[in-house]
Amino acid sequence: MADKQYDIWNDDDGETEAKKSRGSRRILFFGLVLALVLAVVLVAAYRDGTGFDALRRYFSYRNQTDGEQVVYPYEASSQNHFAALGEHLVVLSNTNLSILGPSGTEVWSQAVNFAAPALVQAGERAVAYDVGGTELYLLDGDGELMHLSADEAEPLIAANLSEDGWLTVTSQKQTRKGWVRVYDPSLELVSEFKSSERFVTDACVVDGKHLAAVTLGQEAGTFVSNIVLYNLEKAGEVEPAADYDVEDGLVAAIAEQDGRILTVSDTCLTIADPNGEVQNTYSYASAYLRGYDLGGDGFAALLLNRYRSGSVGHLVTVGEDGEEIASLEVTKEVLDLSAAGRYLAVLYTDSLVVYNEDLQAYATYEGTDYASGVLMRPDGSALMLSMESASLFLP
């Protein structure tokens, strides 16, 4: 048998040049293919932004596309609440508050005793608290940022977060009808608002300069919601800078979206600016509010039913100007919906559909009988929630 030896000094120069030429052609071909793929991605990204999300998902979850599916296990409870912090999952029950990392393993945990657990997420933080109780925890993906313990005589009513990290804590107050504490992103207490005229049910910080408080009162024998605005830049300011009524409805949720104030009531979605000027009101007309999510990037999602019970109704997305973006008839039972980034995830009894703000289907997953909830993430991925674990859906 011939001895296969290569002498680099006496190698055939012509053969070497041919190999180099073939190698150069391969590199050129690969470069052209890569350029074509990037061009397609950039065109998609320019059109609706989803191309960048697809690229980000590819690099973030490459191991899962190879079959290594990440599962987030947690203790089964009918009282479980969930929030997504990047690739981390926050799970809150009556007895435990925990953070699960990108691989599904627990990175932080705290035993709690909550009679009515509540969990709110915005930006890179989440706040967990006991409605009517005394304990509150502010978290990021690594664990606890702040812990508040209220007096039993002044229990917690609500907590709220803005996208840039402002925290509001609404509590009962002895001799008053409401008490709101405002913490800036560095967790400094910067303002306190104490109401003596109306009950305060919730509050949020808008544009880092204004506090918007939801107050409840009576006019002509009926309950009405009034949004009262305070200027946070004026230290010690106790007089309202502005206020406005939410007509014909009681506010269930308030949030900031791109410097605007969004309120959801049982009859309408109202959008106002920080000066208290109502810019638009989207009325549900004769429909009944079944569900909503204000977490979309520049849009709010509503699930409206034609009747008080049943599954006949429609999904609606409403833009920053208060105008309807799209509407989609729904004839199947909706178990849950969740909005984040450019996407809206809707969990039906037999499938999960991820829509864009125009309610065009972006991705669909069949066979979700085991899932009871869904959690959309800004990059277009979604977590399907079951009784004991969450699994990742990658479009």
> Hey, what domains does the chain have and what are their CATH numbers?
285-395 (2.130.10.10)
Percent of the chain with pLDDT over 90: 66
What integer is the mean pLDDT of 50-64?
Answer: 63
What integer is the mean pLDDT of 186-202?
Answer: 90
Task: Round to whole Å and give the CA distance between 89 and 261.
Answer: 27
- What pLDDT is stored for residue 94 in this prediction? 97
pLDDT band at 36 (very low <50, low <70, confident <90, very high): low
Q: For the stretch 135-147, what's the b/e string if a residue is b when 16 or more beta carbons lie within 10 angstroms of its beta carbon?
A: bbbbbbbeeeeee
**How many other CB atoms are found less than 10 A from the CB of residue 317?**
22
What integer is the mean pLDDT of 193-221?
Answer: 88
pTM of the model: 0.84
Percent of the chain with pLDDT over 70: 82
- What pLDDT is stored for residue 6 in this prediction? 37
